[in-house]
Amino acid sequence: MLSDNPSAGILVIGDEILSGRTREGNAHYLAGVLAATGFDLREIRVIPDDHATIVAALQAMDRTLGGTWDHVFTSGGIGPTHDDITADAVAEAFGTVLEIHPDAREAMAARYASLGIELNDNRLRMARVPVGARLIVNSVSAAPGFSIGVTHVMAGVPNVFRAMVEAVLPTLQAGRPQVSETLEMRRGESDVAADLGEVAEAYSDLSLGSYPFHDEDGWGTNLVVRGVDAARVSAAMAELKSRLGVAG
Amino acid sequence: MLSDNPSAGILVIGDEILSGRTREGNAHYLAGVLAATGFDLREIRVIPDDHATIVAALQAMDRTLGGTWDHVFTSGGIGPTHDDITADAVAEAFGTVLEIHPDAREAMAARYASLGIELNDNRLRMARVPVGARLIVNSVSAAPGFSIGVTHVMAGVPNVFRAMVEAVLPTLQAGRPQVSETLEMRRGESDVAADLGEVAEAYSDLSLGSYPFHDEDGWGTNLVVRGVDAARVSAAMAELKSRLGVAG
């Protein structure tokens, strides 16, 4: 699809995804939010808890480091344990170091005091933020995320990730929301391929896709038209229905 | 984790994942299978239906093209419609061209004849395979996947993807299956971080992770020890339980 929307990549950091233990859901959630908000998600990358791999991925993805995307959203690796190495790797990628951020310490101290929990050294690790980063508020459990360059570093725990997405997205300059229309057909992909291809060529500013599925009634195909111009999306869908003999 | 297992990457190709329309599941399924079979999955990458992007990703990932991994498993983009461009891009990445593979055509002709469906030009697109590739049998709907270099090209439809994984994996030289043990604790990550970190250091050939969760009973943490040597995994878990005062 062609759009002027800011581009985005998602970097998921965690051995537990690559081992098959955990089914990743944060990237799927954020993909929907980015489309609806006006960002053009172009890549999702899942990598292990490995320092050099994280640094290299950020250099490949963050525009301000010479990478490809206007925004990079990371998930995972900012907790209190030995395998939480994202903040250290981000600091290295941006040529800076970590320091305890006073606002982060304050937010965490307030929360732990209210719970009667000690703010021990391991917890305080979560207040370490690269020098020059801006905090992303964590309304669930206090320990914040942060933004540096065009990278936005967030937690892997799903409800914390979502809270951080809700905190950071309104601070970013978005483009136009994507809209889509779907036509479900009880025909095989191959039967609609020629018409779909011709409409796709005529509407090259849009994304036209076909997605076969199988349910209790047998095979079918969802035809999806997507773009940032709702009138164009509707026009393409009308053209598709007309060609396929579907009542508008 | 350190192991001699062959390394692997998964390349998911599809606009529908990046738009948030579809929640990816093939990579999660394959991640579990790879761990259990004896491959070390090191990267999952999701990219759009874009020719140049697919070519570049294969060059970055396939060892025989100068990339990083011993095996690359792709999902998506081998259907009959205009947006199914994976085979063309794979051919270009490997410096070859597509041709109708006689065995693929035969398998598809037999299936479509039995269903009373015409093997039209769009369907026949799915018999196009890079010169030199080996077919991956599709026991569900006939149109095959294929292997070239160390890249294994498979369908995105989940039940077809699984059938192709089951067909191709036994043809590959695997290493040692990964095993894991999990300890669920009703304590916060921060409380166990110090002990966990020390055991992780003592067992640097294993992967030790901690995964916080939240359910109806509040917060908890799963501690996971993973490796290819079951005796080492058990020893590390015993050490962890002893330090944390958990009955063995």
**Chain A residues near residue B122 by CB distance under 8 angstroms:** 189-191, 193-194
Q: Any bridge partners for residue B180, and if so which?
A: B226
Q: What does the pLDDT read at residue A1? A: 55
**Chain A residues near residue B208 by CB distance under 8 angstroms:** 82-83
CA–CA separation, A222 vs A235, rounded Å?
Answer: 17
CB contact under 8 A, B122 and A32: no
| CATH 3.40.980.10 domain span(s) along chain A | 7-171
Q: What does the pLDDT read at residue A21? A: 95
Instruction: Write out residues 62-81 of A within 8 Å (CB-CB) of B.
Output: 79-81
Q: Which helix (H) or strand (E) holds B59?
A: helix B51-61
CA–CA separation, B238 vs B164, rounded Å?
Answer: 39
Q: What does the pLDDT read at residue B118? A: 87
CB contact under 8 A, B224 and A16: yes
CB A153 within 8 A of CB A78: yes
B145 three-state secondary structure: strand
CB contact under 8 A, A20 and B42: no
pLDDT in tens, B119-174: 888 899 999 999 999 999 999 999 999 999 999 999 999 999 999 999 999 999 99
Instruction: Write out residues 151-180 of A within 8 Å (CB-CB) of B.
Output: 157, 159, 178, 180
| CATH 3.30.70.600 domain span(s) along chain B | 179-244
Residues in chain A: 248
Instruction: Write out residues 205-244 of A within 8 Å (CB-CB) of B.
Output: 207-214, 224, 226
Question: DSSP letters along chain A, please?
Answer: ----SPEEEEEEE-HHHHTTSS---HHHHHHHHHHHHT-EEEEEEEE-S-HHHHHHHHHHHBGGGT-SBSEEEEES--SSSTT--HHHHHHHHTT--EEE-HHHHHHHHHHHHHHT----HHHHGGGEEETT-EEEEETTTEEEEEEETTEEEE-SSHHHHHHHHHHHGGGS---PPPEEEEEEESS-HHHHHHHHHHHHHHTTTSEEEEEEEEETTEEEEEEEEEES-HHHHHHHHHHHHHHHT---
CB contact under 8 A, A41 and B19: yes
- Over 60: is that where the pLDDT of B1 sits? no
**Which of A42, A80, A213 comes nearest B189 by C-beta?**
A80
CATH topology of domain A7-171: Molybdenum Cofactor Biosythetic Enzyme; Chain A (3.40.980)
Q: What is the residue-level pLDDT of chain A in tens, covering all 248 positions?
A: 567 999 999 999 999 999 999 999 999 999 999 999 999 999 999 999 999 999 999 999 999 999 999 999 999 999 999 899 999 999 999 999 999 999 999 999 999 999 998 888 889 999 999 999 999 999 999 999 999 999 999 999 999 999 999 999 999 999 999 999 999 999 988 889 999 999 999 999 999 999 988 788 888 999 999 999 999 999 999 999 999 999 86
**Chain B residues near residue A190 by CB distance under 8 angstroms:** 80, 120, 122-123
**Which of A21, A46, A159 comes nearest B43 by C-beta?**
A46
Q: Is B24 on the interface with A (CB under 8 A)?
A: yes
Residue of B92, B100, B155, B149 whose CA lies nearest to B128: B100
Q: What does the pLDDT read at residue A213? A: 84
pLDDT in tens, B15-51: 999 999 999 999 999 999 999 999 999 999 999 999 9
Please give the order of strands across the beta sheet that includes B40-47. A134-138, A142-148, A151-154, A71-75, A7-13, A40-47, B40-47, B7-13, B71-75, B151-154, B142-148, B134-138
CA–CA separation, A127 vs B33, rounded Å?
Answer: 37
Q: B179-244 in CATH: which number?
A: 3.30.70.600
Q: What does the pLDDT read at residue B88? A: 98
CB contact under 8 A, B24 and A28: yes
Q: Is B13 on the interface with A (CB under 8 A)?
A: no
Q: What does the pLDDT read at residue A2? A: 60
CB contact under 8 A, B190 and A80: yes
pLDDT in tens, B185-201: 999 888 899 999 999 99
Q: What does the pLDDT read at residue B214? A: 80
Which of A44, A187, A216, A243 to mutate: most B Cβ within 10 Å? A44
Q: What is the nearest CA distance from B183 to chain A, expressed in angstroms?
A: 14
Q: Is B17 on the interface with A (CB under 8 A)?
A: yes
